[in-house]
Amino acid sequence: MSFFSIPLGQYYPAQSVIHNLDPRFKILALAALMLLTFSVSAPVAVILHTAALLGCVTASSIPLRVFARGLKIFFFLFLFTAVLHLFFTPGTAILRLPGPVPLKITHEGLVRGALISWRLLGVIALSFLLTFTTTPLRVTRGIEALLAPLGKFRFPVQDFSLMMMIAIRFIPVLATETDRVWKAQRSRGADLRKGGVKARARTLLSVLYPVFSGLFRRADELAIALEARGYVPGKPRTSMCPLRWGRGDGIALLVILFWVGGIFLAGRVV
């Protein structure tokens, strides 16, 4: 597993309730659930929130291994966060480590580190859930619809949403291009772990130069494709399939409200 296989920005085609939801609702629900994730701290609320997140993953008809493969890339981030809080959070010591710099593991640090790592995991999983179940085009249209009121203040809503879609779509493109170039350079004997600073810098440049060259080439091809389709910056555009709020979105909204209400009640009871 390498960083180049990060699945953020990739769409997973499937037939599920979450796939069919309005992208405007999914973006707002993502923001609300991220805020909820960072506000949860009671043990019962954490368990309920985790169960609800697993329920969403199950409802999306996306295999759990796909989420696990993406979250595995951030393992060292979770580990670093947990260890940082483990040793540097003041509180009741449960273990003291001998050495030139005395360190102690505190009960508060153990709890805090686990909680922060869990919050990061939940937020990243929610981001994956949005990108896995929503095509970049629908994400763009959702952002465009939500930011439409800013158009009254001369904010370029459609251009901004298009830029967001291209940025999201280029994440897996960048990862794939980097992985391809790196494998090609390794087959020619390149190794970042050997040699001095200058040798490693030359090896790194041998990877970065073709990667950025390929990205610029793709960007130029994208610009030509947009011009060929009559795209003019700043001009209003219409949509062939306008977004509509359906019955499934209303049911999902009720589920989210019960979800948030149940988490807050569980936190207050505990």
Q: Are residues 39 and 127 in the same domain?
A: yes
Q: Which residue has the higher pLDDT, 130 or 96?
A: 130
| Residue 9 banded pLDDT, cuts 50, 70, 90 | low
Q: Are residues 148 and 171 in the same domain?
A: no
Q: Are residues 50 and 114 in the same domain?
A: yes
Q: Are residues 35 and 133 in the same domain?
A: yes
* % of residues, the chain, pLDDT over 70: 90
pLDDT of 86 over the 50 cut: yes
| Residue 37 banded pLDDT, cuts 50, 70, 90 | very high
Q: Are residues 100 and 173 in the same domain?
A: no
Among 28-42, 46-60, 238-252, the least confident range: 238-252
Q: Which residue has the higher pLDDT, 174 or 62?
A: 62
Q: Which residue has the higher pLDDT, 260 or 4?
A: 260
Q: Are residues 37 and 126 in the same domain?
A: yes
The closest alpha carbon to 130, from 82, 62, 44, belongs to 62
Q: What is the pLDDT of residues 153-183, one digit of tens each?
A: 888 888 888 887 787 777 777 777 888 888 8
Q: Are residues 213 and 250 in the same domain?
A: no
Q: What is the CB neighbour count within 10 angstroms for residue 67? A: 21
pLDDT of 2 over the 50 cut: no
Q: What is the pLDDT of residues 126-155, one digit of tens each?
A: 998 998 998 888 888 888 888 888 888 888
Has residue 238 been placed in a domain? no
Q: What is the pLDDT of residue 4?
A: 46
Q: What is the CB neighbour count within 10 angstroms for residue 172? A: 18
Q: Are residues 142 and 97 in the same domain?
A: yes
Has residue 224 been placed in a domain? yes
Q: What is the pLDDT of residue 201?
A: 77
Encoded tokens for 225: 């494709």
Q: Are residues 139 and 213 in the same domain?
A: no
Among 91-95, 100-104, 173-177, 260-264, the least confident range: 100-104
Looking at the 3D structure of the chain, how many domains does it have? 2
Has residue 60 been placed in a domain? yes
Q: Are residues 44 and 113 in the same domain?
A: yes
pLDDT of 92 over the 50 cut: yes
Q: Are residues 172 and 149 in the same domain?
A: no
Give the 3-state DSSP-derived string for the chain, with helices as H, strands as E and coil as C: CCHHHCCCCCCCCCCCCCCCCCHHHHHHHHHHHHHHHHHCCCHHHHHHHHHHHHHHHHHCCCCHHHHHHHHHCCHHHHHHHHHHHHHHCCCCEEEEECCCCCEEEEHHHHHHHHHHHHHHHHHHHHHHHHHHHCCHHHHHHHHHHHCHHHHHHCCCHHHHHHHHHHHHHHHHHHHHHHHHHHHHHHHCCCCCCCCCHHHHHHHHHHHHHHHHHHHHHHHHHHHHHHHHCCCCCCCCCCCCCCCCCCHHHHHHHHHHHHHHHHHHHHHHHC
Q: Are residues 55 and 12 in the same domain?
A: yes
**Mean model confidence pLDDT for the chain:** 82
Has residue 239 been placed in a domain? no
pLDDT of 270 over the 50 cut: no
Q: What is the pLDDT of residues 97-124, one digit of tens each?
A: 776 666 777 878 888 888 999 999 999 9
Has residue 37 been placed in a domain? yes
Which domain range does residue 197 map to?
164-233
Q: What is the pLDDT of residues 65-76, one digit of tens each?
A: 888 888 888 888
